[in-house]
């Protein structure tokens, strides 16, 4: 029995054309059409300087043991160009899961789209300047163990969100969201409509023509009271 130490070589993959179209929509707008409940916790943030600010790719999931990167090293050998490595780590923040050596291998040899780690890295003095998307929780010089267990291409939880292998990972400087592979086509259509409406709202906000009447209406519906007086303790 290998549960806890399984390495799946195959994943169901998203439609590449659908995936590419998400790149033209801010992650916040796509998140809004998904009930606003698909964004990873902001402890996972961009720490490098990618020239292309939109990262998108199919999730290559790595389920690591706290502070241990043996499964992540296995993923380095197996992942494909364009993948986004998504790494769970039992929310440990005491061990750097990777540094400049592993990261250089991913950027230059494997040419993946980027990496999302629910844990810290090290060598930020270098990686912090790279044109390569690295999302993680912070930094520490303390290195990882290499004992396992761990699994590859199984469902994981990263930044408080479920990620299945082959889900679409979309990130920009606001952070990371997870788009379930099966639902991606319908989410894309909704996100495009939302984006068009959002652009109109932005123009109105700049030009002084914004209609804010919905706020008073909602306050009334929710039972707020507007008092034309000062607060007296
Ligand atoms: O110890 C490790 O596996 C990670 C590391 O330092 C590096 O990638 O530079
Ligand atoms: Mg190192």
CATH, residue 154:
3.50.30.40
- In a domain, residue 232? The reply is no
- In a domain, residue 227? The reply is no
226 close to ligand 1 (CB < 6 Angstrom): no
- Token pair of 226 as six digits: 């507007």
- In a domain, residue 5? The reply is no
pLDDT score at 48: 98
Q: Is 126 annotated as a binding residue?
A: no
Q: Does 165 score more than 90 pLDDT?
A: yes
Q: What are the pLDDT digits (tens) for 57-89?
A: 999 999 999 999 999 999 999 999 999 999 999
pLDDT score at 90: 97
Q: What are the pLDDT digits (tens) for 129-138?
A: 999 999 999 9
Please tell me the distance between residue 224's alpha carbon and the centre of ligand 1 in angstroms.
55
Q: Does 172 score more than 90 pLDDT?
A: yes
Contact present, 92 and 117 (Cβ < 8 Å): no
Q: Tell me the pLDDT band of 3, cut-offs 50, 70 and 90.
A: very high
- In a domain, residue 82? The reply is yes
Q: Tell me the pLDDT band of 1, cut-offs 50, 70 and 90.
A: confident
69 close to ligand 1 (CB < 6 Angstrom): yes
Domain hosting 82: range is 16-192
Q: How many domains does the chain have?
A: 1
Question: Which atom of ligand 1 lies at the shortest distance from residue 104's CA?
Answer: 8
Please give the torsion angle defined by the CA atoms of residues 110, 43, 35 and 13, in that order, rounded to the nearest 10 degrees.
Answer: 10
Pocket probe for ligand 1: among 64, 102, 107, 120, the residue whose CB has the most ligand atoms within 8 Å is 102
- In a domain, residue 29? The reply is yes
In whole angstroms, give the CA distance from residue 28 to residue 33.
9
Q: Closest Cα to residue 50, out of 116, 129, 107, 131?
A: 131
In whole angstroms, give the CA distance from residue 178 to residue 169.
5
- In a domain, residue 71? The reply is yes
99 close to ligand 1 (CB < 6 Angstrom): yes
- In a domain, residue 66? The reply is yes
98 close to ligand 1 (CB < 6 Angstrom): yes
pLDDT score at 160: 98
The residue-averaged pLDDT of 139-147 equals 98
- In a domain, residue 207? The reply is no
């Amino acid at each position: 029995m290998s549960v806890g130490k399984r390495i799946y070589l195959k994943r169901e993959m998203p439609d590449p054309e659908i995936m590419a179209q998400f790149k033209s929509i801010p992650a916040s707008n796509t998140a809004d059409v998904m009930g606003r409940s698909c964004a990873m916790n902001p402890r996972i943030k961009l720490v490098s300087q990618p020239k292309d600010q939109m990262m998108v790719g199919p999730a290559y999931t790595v389920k690591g043991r706290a502070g241990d990167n043996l499964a992540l090293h296995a993923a380095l050998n197996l992942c494909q160009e364009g993948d986004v490595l998504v790494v769970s780590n039992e929310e440990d923040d005491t061990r750097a899961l990777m540094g400049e050596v592993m990261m250089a291998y991913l950027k230059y040899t494997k040419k993946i789209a980027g990496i999302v780690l629910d844990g810290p890295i090290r060598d930020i003095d270098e990686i912090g300047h790279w044109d390569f998307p690295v999302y993680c929780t912070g930094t520490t010089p303390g290195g990882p163990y290499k004992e396992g267990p761990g699994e590859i291409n199984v469902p994981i939880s990263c930044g408080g969100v479920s990620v299945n292998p082959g889900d679409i990972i979309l990130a920009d400087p606001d952070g990371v969201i997870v788009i379930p592979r099966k639902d991606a086509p319908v989410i894309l259509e909704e996100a495009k409509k939302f984006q068009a409406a959002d652009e109109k709202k932005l123009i109105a906000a700049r030009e002084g023509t914004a209609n804010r009447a919905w706020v008073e209406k909602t306050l009334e519906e929710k039972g707020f009271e507007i008092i034309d007086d000062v607060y007296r303790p």
